[in-house]
C-alpha cells in the first residue's frame, strides 16, 4: 500500500487478518466516513443510492470491540450503534468539529470507549451471543421435530 505525505512516498505492508484486531486497538480514534454521492441506477427505475448506503456497521463494531473511540457519518448504516460513538453530519465542518472535540478530550474518550468494549464484546460478537444462537437453534430443531410428529418431553399433548 502506498500513501503520500508531502513529497515522500511511504510504503506500508499489509496486515494479516488474524492481526487486524490488534492493529485496530492501537488507533487513537476510529473513523467511519461514508460517501453520500449516488451511484447511477443499475437498471431502469432502480432507486438511486450510494454504494456506502449498503455498507454494514462492521467498521464501528470493530472499533467498539477494540475499545477505540470512533466517529461515523450520519446514516442508516450506523444508526443502531449511534449511542456508542459519535455520529457526524457528512460535512467538512462537522467532521472538523467532532474530531477537534475528540482530540481535546482523548483520554476521557479512550476511557469511555474501553468501558463500552465489554458491552460490545457481549452484544456484537459470536462468542458473546453463543447462548442466544444455541437457544434459537434448539427452538428451530424442536419446531421441526414437532411438525414432523415428534413428541417432546415435558409437553402435555391433547388428542
Looking at residue 121, its pLDDT comes to: 81
Nearest-angstrom CA–CA distance, 150 and 159: 14
Report the first-to-last Cα separation within the chain, whole angstroms. 69
pLDDT at 1: 47
Q: Say whether pLDDT at 2 is over 60.
A: no
Residue 99 in grid coordinates: 474530531
* pLDDT, position 89: 93
> Which residues sit opposite 4 in a β-bridge?
9
**Residue range 55-114, pLDDT digits in tens:** 778 888 899 999 999 999 998 888 888 889 999 998 999 999 999 999 999 999 999 999
- Which pTM does this prediction carry? 0.67
> For the chain, how are helix, strand and coil distributed in percent, rounded to 5?
50, 10, 35
- In the chain, domain spans: 19-147
CB count within 10 Å of CB 16 equals 9
Give residue 155's pLDDT band: very low, low, confident or very high (50, 70, 90).
confident
- How far is Cα 14 from Cα 41, in angstroms, rounded to an integer? 34
Average the pLDDT over 113-140 and give the result: 84
Q: What is the pLDDT of residues 8-39, one digit of tens each?
A: 766 767 889 899 889 899 999 999 988 776 66
The alpha helices in the chain, defined as continuous H runs, are: 20-24, 58-66, 76-79, 92-104, 106-124, 126-147
Amino acid at each position: 500500500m502506498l500513501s503520500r505525505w508531502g513529497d515522500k512516498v511511504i510504503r506500508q505492508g499489509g496486515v494479516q487478518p488474524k492481526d487486524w484486531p490488534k492493529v485496530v486497538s492501537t488507533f487513537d480514534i476510529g473513523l467511519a466516513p461514508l460517501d453520500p454521492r449516488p451511484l447511477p441506477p443499475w437498471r431502469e427505475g432502480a432507486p438511486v443510492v450510494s454504494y456506502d448506503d449498503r455498507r454494514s456497521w462492521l467498521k464501528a463494531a470493530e472499533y467498539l470491540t477494540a475499545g477505540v473511540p470512533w466517529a461515523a457519518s450520519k446514516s442508516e448504516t450506523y444508526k443502531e450503534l449511534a449511542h456508542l460513538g459519535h455520529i457526524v453530519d457528512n460535512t467538512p465542518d462537522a467532521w472538523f468539529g467532532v474530531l477537534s472535540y475528540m482530540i481535546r478530550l482523548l483520554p476521557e474518550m479512550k476511557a469511555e470507549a474501553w468501558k463500552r468494549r465489554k458491552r460490545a464484546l457481549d452484544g456484537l460478537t459470536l462468542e458473546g451471543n453463543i447462548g442466544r444462537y444455541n437457544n434459537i437453534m434448539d427452538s428451530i430443531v424442536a419446531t421441526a421435530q414437532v411438525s414432523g410428529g415428534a413428541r417432546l418431553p415435558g409437553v402435555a399433548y391433547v388428542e
